[in-house]
Amino acid sequence: MLPPSFIESLAGTGLDAAGRDALCRTLEAGETPVSVRFNPYKLAERPEGEGVPWNRYGFYLAERPRFTLDPLFHAGVYYVQEASSMFLEHIYRSLFGEGERLRILDLCAAPGGKSTLLATAAGLESVVVANEVIRARALTLADNIRKWGLGNVAVTSNDPSHFGALEHWFDLIAVDAPCSGEGMFRKNPEATAQWSPQAVELCAGRQRRILSEVWSALRPGGILIYSTCTFNRRENEENVAWLVENYDCEGVRIETDPAWGIVRGEVPAGEGVPVPVFRFFPHAVRGEGFFCAVIRKAEGRVRTRLSKPRRTVFTEATRQEQASLRPWFGQPEFMHFVRIGDQMYGYYEEAYPAVREVAERLSVLYSGVHAGQLYHGKLKPEHPLALFHDLAREAVPQAELGETAALGYLRRGDIPADGLAEGMNLVCFEGVPLGWIKRIGNRTNNLYPKELRIQNL
Ligand code: SAM
């Protein structure tokens, strides 16, 4: 049952009475479409199936499979993401060219849907800072970033106010704000139970606080994408209007195809371009409820002097260390290798200085590609290197497993030694890497990380 005051609040969404009825019926009884976004760095060919019109890598599935039982899910070949949120790619492509090198912040990032999307759209020499303030959620975010395997992301766990240390630093900031979740009512009945007009007010206040705290980190002329998965005006248009009133900014023009079913609106911005807002209503689009607005910070003088760095954790890799790491990377000439403690990491050369600036000011949980530890010049590879899209496949022998054996590997079960080479092997399913296994004589050592193993099947 939908709360009566929620139904009343829908009058503010711009839907007429018939539209509001259709929306409520869909929220109460409609089936949630299932969609995934594939990883073009791991899968060269687009899978079959009906595409999500606003995202070239998104497609709908006829039914919801048990994703846990698909080894390719664990290999980062696709990300399960509801279709409306994939609209960020359309925004990105409308504003930025292919190969443009950007500094991007995804401020409210866990579990990682928008971060993996942005990391893919932005290309390998851009940097995406994927931030999540809640530590436990940030750890899940880091797992998903490692699994996606692009190497162009730094995962941080900071309060939005900490980003003041990176004044005028980001070209693009996505604020996918914590919200009252009305758009998730059909997918997640708990969201209905937790909803109240007071919760809406609380969320709206928190969203303004978050926006005001992160605003200084956006460079003049930079883009802010504000999004929620809720319908009410308080958390959506009214917050955009508040931003326009209090900060020097305006909208950006973005085209959409009317056939997509997205409801467009505008928030006036004085003399400037009105801010376009996009509403996804589940009775009209194949996706969940979603709202987003695209805002450009006014041009102005960019201050680039950063706060004093904390002590750096990075040590440049020695020539010898570099020589030991190079064979593991498909294109080592694009990489910059460093040591953090006793562990070796790789970064895209062009992006490294930016990652370093972030790491010296914020609380970084993970960044780049964790390669592993060197013992007398020999690398003991870590899991993220197996999932890195540009691992040099000739670096180690590969063990291709069938589905049952691959699931056994992902459960951290015993894998028979026959068929494996002595020493380290890369375990693959359908040619895609899942992780490492070591053979020592007749024994094998399953190196799949304990904390990722699949359970309860
Ligand atoms: N962008 C994510 C994705 O696409 O997978 C979903 C983000 S979810 C809508 C909002 C996130 O904001 C949650 O992970 C939540 O933990 C985080 N959050 C909660 N309170 C916050 C706060 N005060 N400041 C910043 N983020 C907050």
Domains and CATH numbers, the chain: 396-457 (3.10.450.720)
Task: Note the pLDDT of residue 226.
Answer: 98
Residue 178 Cα to ligand 1 midpoint, Å, equals 5
Task: Note the pLDDT of residue 124.
Answer: 97
Residue 176 Cα to ligand 1 midpoint, Å, equals 7
Query: Ligand 1, atom 26: nearest CA belongs to which residue?
Result: 108
Of 82, 88, 108, the one to substitute when testing ligand 1's pocket (max ligand atoms within 8 A of C-beta) is 108
Nearest to 93 by CA among 49, 58, 41: 58
Task: Note the pLDDT of residue 303.
Answer: 82
Query: Ligand 1, atom 20: nearest CA belongs to which residue?
Result: 178
113-128 residue pLDDT tens: 999 999 999 999 999 9
Around Cβ 340, how many Cβ atoms within 10 Å? 16
Residue 210 Cα to ligand 1 midpoint, Å, equals 10
Nearest to 139 by CA among 152, 127, 155, 162: 155
Of 81, 104, 118, 133, the one to substitute when testing ligand 1's pocket (max ligand atoms within 8 A of C-beta) is 133
State both tokens at 244.
Answer: 């326009």
Query: Ligand 1, atom 9: nearest CA belongs to which residue?
Result: 178
CA 110 to ligand 1: nearest atom: 14
Range 271-276 contact pairs with CB under 8 angstroms and sequence separation of 24 or more: 272/298, 274/250, 275/240, 275/244, 275/249, 275/250, 275/251, 276/251, 276/252
Half-sphere exposure of 250 (CA within 13 A, CB side): 11
Catalytic-role residue among 108, 203, 229, 428: 229
| 408 Cβ contact partners less than 8 Å away, ≥ 6 residues apart | 401, 414, 415
State both tokens at 161.
Answer: 């106010």
Residue 205 Cα to ligand 1 midpoint, Å, equals 15
Query: Ligand 1, atom 11: nearest CA belongs to which residue?
Result: 108
Task: Note the pLDDT of residue 457.
Answer: 60
Task: Note the pLDDT of residue 358.
Answer: 96
Catalytic, 229? Answer yes
Task: Note the pLDDT of residue 297.
Answer: 98
DSSP state of 292: E
Quickly list DSSP for 69-89: G-HHHHTTSEEE--GGGGHHH
Residue 312 Cα to ligand 1 midpoint, Å, equals 28
Could you list the pLDDT tens digit for every one of the 457 residues in the chain?
899 999 999 999 999 999 999 999 999 987 889 999 999 999 877 788 899 999 999 999 999 999 999 999 999 999 999 999 999 999 999 999 998 999 999 999 999 999 999 999 999 999 999 999 999 999 999 999 999 999 999 999 999 999 999 999 999 999 999 999 999 888 788 888 889 999 999 999 999 999 999 999 999 999 999 999 999 999 999 999 999 999 999 999 999 999 999 999 999 999 999 999 999 999 999 999 999 999 999 999 888 778 788 888 999 999 999 999 999 999 999 999 999 999 999 999 999 999 999 999 999 999 999 999 999 999 999 999 999 999 999 999 999 999 999 999 999 999 999 999 999 999 999 999 999 999 999 999 999 999 999 986 6
229-274 residue pLDDT tens: 999 999 999 999 999 999 999 999 999 999 999 999 999 999 999 9
Q: Which residue has the tokens 């009209």?
A: 284
Query: Ligand 1, atom 15: nearest CA belongs to which residue?
Result: 178
Residues with a CB atom less than 6 Å from ligand 1: 85, 108-114, 132-134, 137, 160, 176, 178, 206, 210
Task: Note the pLDDT of residue 190.
Answer: 84
